Structure 1
Amino acid sequence: MLKNVNKSAGVALSMALMASVFAGCSGSNNGEAGASSEPAKASPSASQSSSAAASSSAAASAVPAGIDTSKKVHLQFYMLGNAPKDLPKVEAEINKMAQEDLNATVTFNFTTWTDWDQKYKLLLSTGQDVDLIFTADWTQYQQYAKKGAFQPLDDLLPTAAPALNDFVPKDMWNAVKINGKIYTVPATYQEYVTNGFVWREDLRKKYNLPTPVDIPTFEAYMDGIKKNEPTLQPLAIGSDVRGSLNDTYLDVFRKKVGALPYGMFASYDKPAEMTSYWGSPEQLEDLKRFKSWADKGYFSKNELNEKATNQEKLVNGTAAAMLGDNPTRFNQTNGNMKSLHPDWELGYTPFAVATGYATPVHPIHNGFAIPASSKNAERALAFYEKMVLDKRYNLLTQYGFEGTNYTVDGGYYKMVGDANTNGFPREGMQGWAWRNPEFMLFEPSYDGVKAIFDQLDKVQKPDIYTGFAEDYTEYQAERSALEQVEKQYLFPLLAGQVKDVEGGVKTFMDKAKKAGLDKIQESYKKQWLAYLSESGIQ
Structure 2
Amino acid sequence: MNTRSKATAVLLSSFILASALSACSSNNNNGESASPSPSESSASPSASAPASESASASPSESPAGIDTSKHVTLQFYMLGGEPKDLSVIEKKINEMAEAELNATVKFNFTTWTNWDQKYKLLLSSGQDVDLIFTADWTQYQSYAKSGAFLPLEDLLPKAAPKLQEFVPQDMWDAVKIDGHIYTVPATYKEYVNNGFVYREDLRKKYNLPVPKDIASFEEYLDGIKKNEPGIQPLSMNADVKGNMMDVFREVNDDTVGGPLPYGIGIKYNSPNDVYSYWGSEEQINDLKVIQRWQEKGFFAKNVLNVQDTLQDPITTGKAAAILGDNPTRYNDTKMKMQSTHPDWELGYTPFAETRGFATPVHPIHNGFAVPKSSKNAERALAFYEKMVTDKRYNQLTQYGIEGTHYTVEDGYYKMVGDATSNGFPREGMQGWAWRNPEFMLFDKSYDGVKAIFDQLDKVAKPDLFTGFAEDYSSYQAERAALEQVEKQYFYPLYAGLVKNVEEGVQTAMDKAKKAGLEKVQEAYKTQWLAYTSEKGIQ
| TM-score in terms of structure 2 length | 0.91
Q: Give the Å deviation of 1:519.
A: 0.3
Q: 1:450 to 1:396 in 2, by over 3 A?
A: same
Deviation of the 1:257 alpha carbon: 1.2
Q: 1:389 to 1:76 in 2, by over 3 A?
A: same
Native 8 Å contact 2:133 2:367 kept in 1: yes
Distance in 1 of aligned mates of 2:413 and 2:264: 43
Contact 1:175 / 1:364 at 8 angstroms: preserved in 2? yes
Residue by residue, what CA displacement relative to the aligned partner does 1:243-264 show, whole Å, maximum 9, x if unpaired?
1111111111122113111111
Instruction: For 1:11-22, list aligned pairs within 5 A.
Output: none
Q: In 2, distance between residues paired with 1:502 and 1:44?
A: 58
Provide, for residues 242-294 of structure 1, a one-character-per-residue CA deviation record: whole Å limited to 9, x for no partner.
Answer: 11111111111122113111111011111111111111111111111111110
The answer to whether 1:87 aligns with 2:92 is no
The answer to whether structure 1 residue 46 and structure 2 residue 45 are counterparts is no
Give 1:111-260 correspondences, 5 Å limit: 111-258=110-257, 259-260=259-260
Deviation of 1:464 after TM superposition, in Å, equals 2.1
- The 8 Å contact of residues 42 and 412 in structure 2, kept in 1 or not, is answered as no
Letter in 2 for 1:149: A
Report how far residue 362 of structure 1 moved: 0.6
Residue 363 of structure 1 corresponds to: 363
Secondary structure at the aligned position of 1:272 is classed as strand
Query: Tell me, what secondary structure is at the counterpart of 1:213?
Result: coil
What is the 5 A alignment of 1:314-393? 314-393=314-393
C-alpha displacement of 1:477? 0.3
User: Residue 459 of structure 1: CA displacement?
Assistant: 1.1
Task: Please state if 1:100 is matched with 2:99.
Answer: yes
Question: CA shift at 1:37, angstroms?
Answer: 3.7
Residues in 2 aligned to 1:266 and 1:40: alpha-carbon distance in whole angstroms: 45
Aligned residues: 500
CA distance in 1, matches of 2:263, 2:50: 45
Distance 1:429 1:35 in 2: 22
TM-aligned CA distance change 1:322 to 1:34, over 3 Å:
farther
For residues 58-109 of structure 1, what are the alpha-carbon distances to aligned partners after superposition, in whole Å with 9 as ceiling and x for unaligned?
A: 7x71111110111111111011100101100110111110010001111001
Report the equivalent of 2:507.
507
- 8 Å CA contact 2:52–2:402 kept in 1: the answer is no
Give 1:34 deviation, angstroms: 12
2:35 aligned partner: none
* 1:274 alignment partner, SS class: strand
Residue type at the aligned position of 1:482: L
2:483 paired residue number: 483
Q: CA deviation at 1:40?
A: 3.5
CA distance in structure 2 between the aligned counterparts of 1:174 and 1:102, rounded to whole angstroms: 29
CA distance in 1, matches of 2:488, 2:430: 30
User: Which residue does 1:5 correspond to in 2?
Assistant: none
Judge conservation of contact 1:279–1:505 (CA < 8 Å) in 2. yes
What amino acid is the match of 2:149?
F
1:66 alignment counterpart: 65
SS of corresponding position for 1:522: helix
Residue number in structure 2 paired with 1:401:
401
Deviations 1:28-81 (A, max 9, x none): xxxxx996343235x4442578xxxx9xx77x7111111011111111101110
Q: Distance between the aligned counterparts of 1:341 and 1:110, measured in 2?
A: 29
d(CA) in 2 for partners of 1:427, 1:412: 15
Identity of aligned residues (%): 70
Inter-partner Cα distance in structure 1 for 2:264 and 2:399? 40
Q: Give the Cα–Cα distance (whole angstroms) in 1 for the partners of residues 146 and 267 of structure 2.
A: 28
Contact 1:79 1:430 (C-alpha < 8 Å) held by counterparts: yes
Contact 1:34 1:413 in 2 (8 A): no
Q: Deviations over 1:344-386 (max 9, x none)?
A: 1110011111111110011000000001011110000000000
Deviations 1:500-524 (A, max 9, x none): 1111111000000000000000000
Check the 8 A contact 2:51/2:402 in 1, yes or no.
Answer: no
The alignment partner of 1:323 has SS state of strand
Alignment correspondent of 2:20: none
2-structure distance, mates of 1:287, 1:256: 17
Cross-structure match for 2:276: 276
Rounded to whole Å, the distance in 2 between the matches of 1:171 and 1:82 is: 32
- The letter for the 2-side match of 1:185 is V
Give distance in 2, aligned partners of 1:376 and 1:355: 45
SS of the residue aligned with 1:178?
coil
C-alpha distance after superposition, 1:422-476 (max 9, x if no partner): 0000000000000000000111000000111112111110112211100111111
What is the alpha-carbon distance in structure 1 between the residues aligned to residue 337 and residue 41 of structure 2? 18
**Distance verdict in 2 for CA 1:511–1:252, change over 3 Å:** same
Aligned-pair RMSD on alpha carbons? 1.7
C-alpha contact 2:157 2:164 (8 A) present in aligned 1: yes
Give, in whole Å, the separation in 1 of the partners of 2:151 and 2:157.
12
| In structure 2, C-alpha distance between the alignment counterparts of 1:296 and 1:34, rounded to whole Å | 46
**Given that residues 70 and 103 in structure 1 are in contact (C-alpha distance below 8 angstroms), is that contact kept between their aligned partners in structure 2?**
yes
C-alpha distance in 1 between matches for 2:223 and 2:159:
58
Kindly provide the CA deviation profile for residues 106-134 of structure 1, in whole angstroms up to 9, marking residues without a partner as x. Answer: 10011111111111111100100110100
- Structure 1, residues 204-228: CA drift from partner, whole Å, max 9, x if none? 0000000011111111101111111
- What does residue 305 of structure 1 align with? 305
1:290 maps to a residue whose letter is: I
Q: Distance in 2 between matches of 1:237 and 1:35?
A: 34
Q: Which amino acid aligns with 1:427?
A: E
User: What is the CA–CA distance in structure 1 between the aligned matches of 2:274 and 2:46, rounded to whole Å?
Assistant: 46
Cα pair 1:315 1:336 within 8 Å, conserved: yes
CA distance in 2, matches of 1:125, 1:527: 24
1:170 and 1:521 map into 2 onto residues whose CA distance is 34
* SS in structure 1 of the partner of residue 121 of structure 2: helix
The unaligned stretches of length 5 or more in structure 1 are 1-19, 21-32
What residue is the counterpart of 2:525 in the other structure? 525
SS of corresponding position for 1:152: coil
Distance 1:379 1:331 in 2: 35
Per the alignment, in what secondary structure is the counterpart of residue 364 of structure 2? helix
Where 1:365 maps in the other structure, the secondary structure is coil
**Structure-1-length-normalised TM-score:** 0.91
Q: Is the 8 A contact 2:77 2:109 kept in 1?
A: yes
Amino acid aligned to 2:86:
L
Q: Contact 1:35/1:447 (CA < 8 Å) preserved in 2? A: no
Q: Tell me how far apart the structure 2 counterparts of residues 132 and 192 of structure 1 sit (CA, whole Å).
A: 25
1:26 maps to what in 2? none
Q: Which residue of 2 aligns with 1:25?
A: none
What do residues 141-186 of structure 1 show as CA deviations (whole Å, max 9, x unaligned)? 1111111111100000001000000000000000000000000000
Contact in 2 for aligned 1:48/1:411 (Cα 8 Å): no
User: What letter is aligned with 1:121?
Assistant: K
